[in-house]
Structures are given as structure tokens and as C-alpha cells.
Amino acid sequence: MMRKRILFSVIAVVLLACVLCAAFACESYKAKALSKVGDKNAVVESNGGLVVKQGGYLYFINGYTGYLTEKGKQNWFGRVQKGAIVRVTYNEDGTLGDDYVVVVPKSVMADSENVGFSIFGEWIYYVSPSAEEDRSGTVQTGTLQFMRTKIDGTGTQVILNWDDKAVKYKYTSKALVFFDSANGKLYSKDLTVKKFKKNKPGDLIDEDVAAVHFVKNDTFDPKADASVADYVLYTKKSEDAYENSNTLYVSDARGSEGSKKAVIGADTYADGKYSISVVASSVTGDKLAVYYTKTSYVGTSSSGTVVGTYAYEFSDKTFAFTAANEVCLSTEDLSALAPISYADGVVKTGSNARIYYTDGREVSTFGALDLSTFLCVKDNCFYYLNSDGILLYYPLSKDANAHYAYTTGEKFMTSFTGAEYFDGYFYFIQDDDYDYMSRVALSEIDIYSGKDAAVTRVALITAADKTKMEEAEKTTESEK
């Protein structure tokens, strides 16, 4: 009798769920597998950005449709094309095929410093604004959903719902690591499981955390050992209420006890106690370079003095720190830095651009050059955007003035998505009437003549936008 009651109860719950779904409509993640699938065992390049290459395919965020919407159904799985993840054949010479196909039909964006997605093996990991509604029918725009979909377009799962759309996070091959800044907690959620409890944060790496720095890991080789770039750096304030120094810790993505270690603490320096603030990092092989500011405190005063910006390269995963080996880059607070590499120096971005070196070379200065929207250093040139979002470059040799990469006026979207350099191309969401992914070839930019480089759309354009483009082209032709 008891078994029958339980069975009837289960049936009743299922029927109620079906009725509710019929009444309110539920988002479904069912999808038909793609006829052609990439190689899950291939090396992945450019992870965590706007474009990711795995094997012979390039995956990319197709475009931008806006992040928050009061109409949640617009972001339901299967209804999104412009903001979706699209795949296309990537040839050895960098050219693209014409086989564009949607793999993740969901808006892939986050209202934070994290923009992009990652691929590990057969899974694509991304975030998307929640399309769910509360009982009053209001879309939960303040909730961010961590999700994954297989590279064949099937198997979509919600890993975590988190009520902070600006949360700092990082995907690794084994875990999702994210920082609950409101409560000072650093979490790790295991990605090797088959099912997720989407309303549970996962395992606690540490608490009373003041700040977190996620090292960028853009390459994943499934045959290689875990990368040093998968580690996380974070700081904790002193437990002593009268002590203003802090401790810098390192941990792997799972928060394993054997990996969690205090790197720089109150007793590290013989000349005093400091607080450490990580500004940037870079990885070369198994070596992790960290760039940070040091602030000195005298007595119990909470007013500290920045003594400079420093660099240190850890030789391996033991993260052994020797104070005598740290390099002082500047006695100033270089709060905005972009490493080229530990050997090649680090760029101070913003106004009055400079390059600082770790080998004792003289600082390279570039006058009043403003790199507020810095992209990278390639082919001995700074590449950056002007205030209008147009690509410029400036030779490090200073033998030429700043030049436009093109004079046709295409703008990079800078208000939300940023840009990315990969394999000889700058990829960016073009800020125009359509907002699709585009790219510029570095090889087409002539640093001496200012020759125009072509801006090419890399996108699967919707039928509606294609019609608008054709109509606009006809109007332009008729006005000539």
C-alpha cells in the first residue's frame, strides 16, 4: 500500500510539472546532433575569449544582441542566432570555410570583466543571462547561468545559477572557479560530474578572501598535465585587527590541500610588512609571472604607502618565493599593466605609455601616447583603439607616427565585449547597425604607408539582418 501511495505521489508531481510547463512554457535544451563534429581530443587555442579554435574548427560568438532583456523567451535555447556560438572550418592558412553553423543557440555574454567561452574536450563552457521568470512573470535578469553544451550541439546543462551577473569566474578543464565577493568566499565546482545541483555553489576553496586574480589559460592540451595557468591567486587580510598587511595565496582549481599555499605573507620581507595587490600575470611553459604592487604600513595606521610595482616569476608549481629575486619595475603604482612576457617586458597602459623590463634594461618611453584601450604588442607595434573604437598602431621603434589600420571607419564594440588577437587576426564585434563578429588581418596592415586593411565579417547573419543589409546597399547605390 505504501509503495502505491509513493507511486501515485510521484505521478502527481510529474503531472503537475507538465501542467505548469504547459501553462508557463519551460525552456528546453533538446537539440539534434550536428552531422559533422569536431575532434574532442584536439588541442584548444584561445580559450576564454571571443573566438576559440579546436582542431579544424573556429568557434566564435556570432554577435551582440544586448545583454539584459525583459523578454526572457528571446534568450531561450534554440531561439538565438546573433549572440550564439557559431562554428566554421578553420584552414591552416587562416582562411575560413563557408560552413557556418550554430552550435550553442543561446546568448553568450556576462555583465563582468569576463567575456567569452572555453572548450575542454567535448564540452563548450559559457555563461548566459537567465531567461527564467519568477511567479509574477518578471525575468530574473540579475541571475547569471553557468552552462555547458557538447561540441555536437547536444547535452546542454545548467551548471550553476548565481545571483550576481558581474561575478568574477574562470573555467578550467576540471572545475569552475568563482568568487563570491559579497561574502568573501572562493568556490570550486567540479565539472567532471554528470549532473549538477544548479543552486549549490560547490566546494569552498577559502573564505575571508579579499581579492582574486584569475590567471589566463588560453591553451588546453588534453594529453598534457594540468597547466600552471589553471591556478588561482588570491589575498586574505590579516586576522589581527591591528595588522594591515595581507597574505597572497595560490591554489589549484579544485582547492586541493596539497596545492593551497601561502606565497607572500607578513614574515616574507625582512624590512617590514606589506599588503600585496596583484595587477597582472603571464605564463611561459610551467613558469608563472606575477606583477603586483606593494603597500607599506607603519604601526597600526591603516594609511599605507605604495612603495612600488614588482614582478616575480615562479619557476615551477611549488611556487617557492625568494624576496631577493623579485624585481622592482617602478616606485610608482602601475595599476594598469599588460604583460608581453616576463622576458619581453610589461606595458603600462593608459596615458604616457611605457614598457618596463625585468632584466634591468632602461624603461622604454613613448611620450604622451595614450593606450587606454590597449590590445597587444605584435610585429613590434602597439595595437590599440582610439576613443571612437577604431584600430590604430604605433611602432615601438618610434620611426613612424600612429596610423589607422584602415580608413573605412569600422568601429570595435568597446562598451561591453572587448576584442581579441588570435593567429594573425584581430577579432571583434563590429559596432554598427548589425553588431556581428568581424576580423582584420595583421598582415594587411602596412606600418609605413598606412595602407588600408580590410574589415571582414565573420558571422552567420540572420535572414532579417541580411534583408536590411541588402536594402541599405540598394539605397547607397541609388544615392550615388
Rounded to the nearest integer, the mean pLDDT of the chain is: 90
* Cell reading at 92: 591552416
**450 vs 392: CA distance, rounded Å:** 10
Helix, strand, or coil (residue 54): strand
Residue 177 and residue 232 in contact, taking contact as beta carbons nearer than 8 Å: yes
108-165: pLDDT as tens digits = 886 666 668 999 999 999 999 888 877 777 777 789 999 999 999 999 999 999 999 8
Residue 111: what pLDDT?
Answer: 63
Residue 41 and residue 211 in contact, taking contact as beta carbons nearer than 8 Å: no
Residue 61 and residue 108 in contact, taking contact as beta carbons nearer than 8 Å: yes
Strand order in the sheet with 261-264: 209-214, 232-237, 246-251, 261-264
Residue 84 burial (CB count, 10 A): 22
CA distances in angstroms from 206 to 232, 244, 317, 321, listed in the order given? 11, 20, 19, 21
Residue 4: what pLDDT?
Answer: 47
Torsion of CA 73, 74, 77, 80, to 10 degrees: 170
Residue 100 and residue 113 in contact, taking contact as beta carbons nearer than 8 Å: no
Intra-chain end-to-end CA distance of the chain, in Å: 84
Per-residue pLDDT of the chain (480 residues; tens, 9 = 90+): 444 454 444 444 444 444 444 444 578 999 999 999 999 999 999 999 999 999 999 999 999 987 656 677 888 899 999 999 999 999 999 999 999 999 999 998 866 666 689 999 999 999 998 888 777 777 777 899 999 999 999 999 999 999 998 899 999 999 999 999 999 999 999 999 999 999 999 999 999 999 999 999 999 999 998 899 999 999 999 988 788 899 999 999 999 988 999 999 989 999 888 999 999 999 999 999 999 999 998 766 777 899 999 999 999 999 999 999 999 999 999 989 999 999 999 999 999 999 999 999 999 999 999 999 999 999 999 999 999 999 999 999 998 889 999 989 999 998 878 899 999 999 999 999 999 999 999 999 986 666 789 999 999 999 999 999 999 988 888 876
What is the helix (H) or strand (E) element at residue 479, kind and residue range?
A: helix 463-479
Residue 323 and residue 270 in contact, taking contact as beta carbons nearer than 8 Å: yes
DSSP 235: E
pTM strictly above 0.85: yes
DSSP 363: P
59-112: pLDDT as tens digits = 999 999 876 566 778 888 999 999 999 999 999 999 999 999 999 999 988 666
Please name every residue paired with 147 in a beta bridge, in sequence order, or none if there are none: 126, 158
Please report, as a single letter, which amino acid is at residue 178.
F
**466 vs 63: CA distance, rounded Å:** 14
Residue 89 burial (CB count, 10 A): 16
Please state the φ and ψ torsions of residue 268, each to the nearest 5 degrees: -70, -40
What is the helix (H) or strand (E) element at residue 187, kind and residue range?
A: strand 185-190
Count CA atoms closer than 13 A to 190's CA, side-chain side.
8
Residue 435 and residue 429 in contact, taking contact as beta carbons nearer than 8 Å: yes
